Amino acid sequence: MLAEIHPPAKRKAIAMDWLSFNFQRCSFGAKVFVQNQGPLTLGTAWDSEVYQLTIDLQAQQERATQAIRKKKVL
């Protein structure tokens, strides 16, 4: 659907609005899908500004830590 919008400047504006709306809301898989399919869908509207917004689609997560239950005695 996005590929059918002309001119490319309007297509880019719609993509930028969508990427701004979904800032840090997507999973890792969705982020990779958008980065892989973006140039094919947007064509000439794909540039560094759009790519920068795709990097921030995934929310940052805390580093997983594991609690020590009991220390082993050697």
Q: 25: how many CB neighbours lie within 10 A of its CB?
A: 10
Q: What angle do CA 50, 24, 64 make, to 5 degrees?
A: 130
Whole-number Å distance between alpha carbons of 35 and 68: 39
Task: Read off the pLDDT of residues 24-42 as tens digits, 9 standing for 90 and up.
Answer: 999 889 999 999 999 999 9
Whole-number Å distance between alpha carbons of 67 and 11: 49
Task: Read off the pLDDT of residues 61-74 as tens digits, 9 standing for 90 and up.
Answer: 777 777 777 777 77
Whole-number Å distance between alpha carbons of 22 and 54: 9
